[in-house]
């Protein structure tokens, strides 16, 4: 059995801060994201893990949304207006105006969220199915969608409109969604399939708004460590890979994407780039059949 534990936003900085031994496993490393033309963007990186390559069309589509925020009038606003106010009220408004002028009607996440399925791009699950390998996965951005993205986006809109209690409702929603995903995953593990790919948004979603709090970072760190430790305890003979698309860093009390991902294994194997995960899995699960 091979189990991939995908933690969106998990970086070595968080692991080292709280000395999380279970997540480091037998060998660990930061992954290199320098091949990507864009800043670390969730669907693009996870799609690369599932296909073994960087999907240029996804990057090109994302670049259509790219806005130069270093223009003189925007730099002036950055100096005058606090980051919290900009994030809540101004950034999305400005983006929507620019995107509409370019004829872009969907959010970038919506545009790329189901890209592999929408464009019939083969990925690891098709290979496993063709070879009679049993597998399970939940929602994975870039393939079959970010978990409950529309509900999450609505709660972020409430925060940005400063609706009373919106931040607390967002926090509860993200944790509830994560714990539901965990229950479904551990229930699926009882089926004893050949391959599992579990994905959770917890660290990224909570981190964007709460990463400035050491208490919240502690909760995130120990939750992901708990999941990995439980897998080790309950499935000691499984091959376990832990992977992330990027880490998180503090920016004025908020969380933003860092420039390195994370990978560890309980076998001592390592990868250098996110797309290498695809080849590692197929090597180990198909062997001579590949």
The two tokens of residue 196 are: 């599992």
Q: Please, how many CA atoms are within 13 Å of residue 234, restricted to the half-sphere of its CB?
A: 12
What is the pLDDT at residue 253?
78
The CA distance from 286 to 290, in Å, is 5
What is the pLDDT at residue 250?
86
Query: Of 183, 213, 182, 217, nearest to 203 (Cα)?
Result: 217
Triad 37, 39, 43: Cα angle to 5°: 90
The CA distance from 77 to 121, in Å, is 42
Phi-psi sector, 25: left (phi>0), alpha (psi -120 to 50), beta: left
CATH for the stretch 2-52+114-289: 3.40.720.10
The DSSP output letter for 38 is S
The CA distance from 88 to 159, in Å, is 7
What is the pLDDT at residue 6?
98
Q: Which residues of the chain have pLDDT under 70?
A: 67-79, 81-95, 288-290
What is the pLDDT at residue 161?
75
The two tokens of residue 15 are: 């692991």
Q: Taking the model in full, what pTM does it have?
A: 0.88
């Amino acid at each position: 059995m091979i189990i991939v534990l995908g933690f969106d936003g998990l970086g070595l900085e968080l692991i080292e801060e709280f000395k999380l031994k279970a997540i480091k496993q037998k060998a660990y490393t930061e992954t290199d994201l320098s091949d990507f033309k864009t800043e670390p963007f969730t669907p693009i990186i996870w799609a690369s893990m599932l296909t073994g390559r960087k999907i240029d069309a996804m990057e090109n589509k994302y670049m259509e949304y790219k806005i130069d925020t270093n223009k003189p009038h925007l730099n002036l606003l950055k100096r005058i207006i606090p980051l919290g106010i900009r994030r809540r009220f101004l950034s999305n408004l400005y983006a929507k105006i620019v995107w509409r002028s370019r004829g872009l009607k969907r959010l970038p996440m919506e545009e790329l969220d189901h890209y592999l399925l929408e464009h019939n791009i083969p990925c690891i699950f098709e290979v496993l199915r063709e070879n009679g390998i049993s597998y399970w996965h939940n929602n994975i951005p870039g393939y079959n969608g970010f978990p409950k993205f529309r509900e999450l986006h609505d709660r972020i809109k409430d925060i940005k409109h400063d609706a009373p209690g919106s931040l607390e409702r967002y926090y509860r929603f993200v944790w509830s969604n994560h714990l539901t995903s965990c229950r479904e995953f551990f229930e699926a593990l009882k089926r004893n399939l050949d391959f599992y790919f579990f994905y959770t948004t917890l660290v990224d979603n909570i981190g964007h708004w709460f990463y400035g709090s050491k208490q919240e970072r502690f909760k995130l760190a120990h939750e992901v460590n708990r999941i990995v430790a439980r897998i080790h305890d309950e499935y000691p003979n499984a091959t376990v890979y832990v992977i992330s698309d990027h880490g998180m860093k503090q920016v004025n009390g908020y969380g933003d994407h860092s420039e390195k991902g994370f990978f560890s294994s309980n076998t001592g194997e390592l990868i250098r780039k996110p797309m290498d995960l695809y080849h590692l899995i197929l090597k180990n699960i198909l062997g001579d059949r590949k």
